[in-house]
Structure 1
Amino acid sequence: MAHIDLFFSTLSPYAYLAGNRAEEVAAKHNATITYKPLDIMALFARTGGTAPKDRHVSRVEYRAQELVRQAAKLGLAFNLKPAHWPTNGAPSSYAFIAAQNAGGGDLGKLMFAITRAVWAENKDIAEDGVVRSCLSEAGFDPALADSGLLEGAETYAANLEEAVERGVFGSPFYITDRDQRFWGQDRIDDLDAVLAGKM
């Protein structure tokens, strides 16, 4: 059975634009997914990236155009300047880790709900109530927002270290069990092709 490690940030607009397409690809190929939320700003600092606020204006302008184009292409609502970005991504990440450990819900749906809250609904995912709502929407116990915080913090930090060691430098980032790496929501079709043995 094929497996995918999915590294992502709950603050990432590109993780939002991925929707549930990676999950659909995984289901198509009977592959499993392990989700690995991480601190994207720390990842940038460790892997030669630059925080959005520090990028050259040409990159900022291109990113603004491309995000809007991709959202339109995918039929997703999108706010280029959300009210609560950047915010603290740790609480939502800890809750996601607790949900993955607990089971019983849809993790793909949870990832989409959290990122949609930022990029389409102008909600602050650092707030407990927002995280609880996302957990509930995805079929998880909303109380997971308040559980396993120490384990969540440890896993969150470990995910960053693993990401650096395995060549991850952005979000979302997919790695197959054969170490085929795919950066970005616009590479999900390539992930599909590799799992199908076409590439």
Structure 2
Amino acid sequence: MTQIDYYFSTISPYTYLAGQRLEEIARRNGATIAYKPLDIVALFSRTGGTPPAQRHESRQSYRLQELRRQSARTGLPINLRPAHFPTNAAPSSYAVIAAQATGGGDLGGLVHGILRACWAEERDVAEDAVIRDCLAAAGFDPALAGSGLLLGAETYAANLEEAVGRGVFGAPFYIVGEEKFWGQDRLDDLDLHLQGKL
């Protein structure tokens, strides 16, 4: 079975705007997904990127236009300047890692729920109560928010190192074998690749 290695940040607006299309594509093509949350700011610093707030004004302005257009295109509501962005992505990432290790719930739903909390619901995904709500809504034990912290920290750091080594430089980023796809706007290409058409 083909595996999609999915590198993402739980506070990335473009990861939010992917919705759950990755999960639909994987299901349609009989592929599995390995969820690999990482520290996007550290990734930028390691791969030549710049955090949004440090970008030139023209790039910041374009980013807001693009987010607005992609929101309209996908039908996913977005607050372009959420109250809790940027925030510490580590706690929510640790919860995703713990949920993946435990199983039993909807992992794609958990990831999207965390992203939606940040980008559409004005909630701080660094807060324990928010993470617990997202875990419960996706069918996981809310206690995962406070367990497996060591595993979460170790895996979160390892995901970053792995990503840098494999040529990942942004989020969302999808890898199948040696084929790399950057951005939610490349999901159609990923789909075609899995079908053997690209």
Which TM-score band applies after superposition, normalised by the shorter structure?
over 0.9
TM-score (norm: length of structure 1): 0.99
Cα distance in 2 for residues equivalent to 1:27 and 1:189: 14
Aligned to 1:170: 170
Q: How many equivalent residue pairs?
A: 198
Moved over 2 A (4+): none
RMSD: 0.5
- Residue deviations 1:139-173, cap 9 Å, x none? 10000000000110000000000000000000110
Partner residue of 1:194? 193
Equivalent residue for 2:7?
7
Partner of 1:143: 143
Percentage identity across paired residues of the two chains: 68
Gaps in structure 1 of 5+ consecutive residues: none
* CA distance in structure 2 between the aligned counterparts of 1:197 and 1:93, rounded to whole angstroms: 32
Q: What is residue 179 of structure 1 aligned with on the other side? A: 178
Residue 111 (str. 1) matches residue 111 (str. 2): yes
In structure 1, the partner of 2:152 is: 152
Distance 1:51 1:92 in 2: 19
Counterparts of 1:23 and 1:181, CA distance in 2: 17
Name 1:60's counterpart in structure 2. 60
Q: TM-score, normalised by structure 2?
A: 0.99
Q: 1: CA distance between counterparts of 2:120 and 2:34?
A: 25
Amino acid of the structure 2 residue aligned with 1:190: D
Question: Offset of 1:57 from its aligned partner?
Answer: 0.8
1:135, CA displacement in angstroms?
Answer: 0.4
Corresponding residue number in structure 2 for 1:83: 83
CA deviation after TM superposition for structure 1 residue 179, in Å: 1.4
Q: Displacement, 1:180?
A: 0.6
